[in-house]
Amino acid sequence: MSMNNQVRLESAAIALRNARQSRQTIEQISQSYKISGLDEAYAVAKINTDFKVNQGARIIGKKVGLTSKAVQQQLGVDQPDFGILFDDMEFLHEDEVPVSHLLQPKIEAEIAFIVSRDLKRPIPSWGEFLSTLDYALPALEIVDSAIHNWKITLEDTVADNASCGLFVLGNQPIEIGTFNLAEVKMELLHNNKIASEGSGAACLGHPLKAAWWLARTMCEKGIGLKAGEVILSGALGPMVNVQAGDNVTAYIDRLGSVSCTLI
C-alpha cells in the first residue's frame, strides 16, 4: 500500500474515533476519505481495533452484522459484515446499561454463542465449526453509528467496526443441538410494548449459518476465534431506536429472556 493510501485510511480511522469521543456524527467516510471496497473498510476498522487494544482494551468476541434482510433493507446494504467485541461493551441480564457516550443507539435481539476451543486456519468445515461451540444465550445488541443519520454504505459500517456499540447477554446458557434455532420466535418489548418481532430464520436463514460465516471469514483473514469468545450471530428482526430511560426485554423461544435498562 502506498504512503498516500495509508495516510488516507489512518485519517478515516481518526475521524471515526474523534466522532465517537466528541459524540458528534460525521458524514460518510466512504465519500470524505474515498474508502472504496471492503478491504479498505476493514483496514480502517483494524487501525481503530489496534488503537483500542494498545490502550488496554481486551477482545472478548466477534459479531456478525447485517444478517437480517429487514435490517439490510433499513440500512440499504445487501451482505453481512463483522466487528470486534471488547470487554467494555459487555453487560448482563437486568443490568443498567449506560448509553450516554453513544451517538445514535438502536437495539436488536440476537442469539449469542460461546466458543469452546480455539479455531484457526484452515477454514473450518460445518462439522469442525459446530464442534467449537458450547452454548447459546439470548442477547441484545445496542448498535451505534458515527455516520450522520445512519446514512451508511457497507464500507461505512464496516470501517466503523460494524456499527458496534454495546451488548447484553442472558444469564442462563443453553446447550445447542436439542432444538431448531431457525424456528425460534423472537419478541422484543420496548418500554413494555412490542416493537420488533422475528425468528431465527431471519438471521441468514439460520443463526448457526451466520455464525459459521463469521468463523470462516475470521479464519480466512487469519484472525480466528478463541475459546471463551462470544459470537453475536445477528439480528432476528428490525432494529429499534432507543435512548436513556428506556427498558428493553427480548423473549426468544427455548432460550428465555434478556433485558436491560438504559441509563
Asked if residue 27 is part of any domain, the answer here is no
Asked if residue 189 is part of any domain, the answer here is yes
Each of the 263 residues of the chain gets a pLDDT tens digit; together they read: 565 899 999 999 999 999 999 999 999 999 999 999 999 999 999 999 999 999 999 999 999 998 877 667 766 767 789 999 999 999 999 999 999 999 999 999 999 999 999 999 899 999 999 999 989 999 999 999 999 999 999 999 999 999 999 999 999 999 998 899 999 999 999 999 999 999 999 999 999 999 999 999 999 999 999 999 999 999 999 999 999 999 999 999 999 999 999 99
Copy the grid coordinates of residue 108.
Answer: 436488536
- Three-class secondary structure assignment of 167-200: EEECCCCEECCCCCHHHCEEEEEECCEEEEEEEH
| Total residues belonging to the chain | 263
Asked if residue 216 is part of any domain, the answer here is yes
Give the range of the structural domain holding residue 255, as residue numbers without chain letter.
58-262
Asked if residue 15 is part of any domain, the answer here is no
Copy the grid coordinates of residue 21.
Answer: 469521543
**What is the three-class DSSP state of 235?**
strand
Asked if residue 150 is part of any domain, the answer here is yes
Q: What is the CATH number of the domain that holds 173?
A: 3.90.850.10
Asked if residue 53 is part of any domain, the answer here is no
Q: What does the pLDDT read at residue 137? A: 97
Asked if residue 186 is part of any domain, the answer here is yes
**Total structural domains within the chain:** 1
Asked if residue 25 is part of any domain, the answer here is no
CA proximity to 199, closest of 214, 181, 211: 181
250 CB-near residues (< 8 Å, 6+ apart): 109, 138, 139, 140, 186, 187, 188, 189, 257, 258, 259
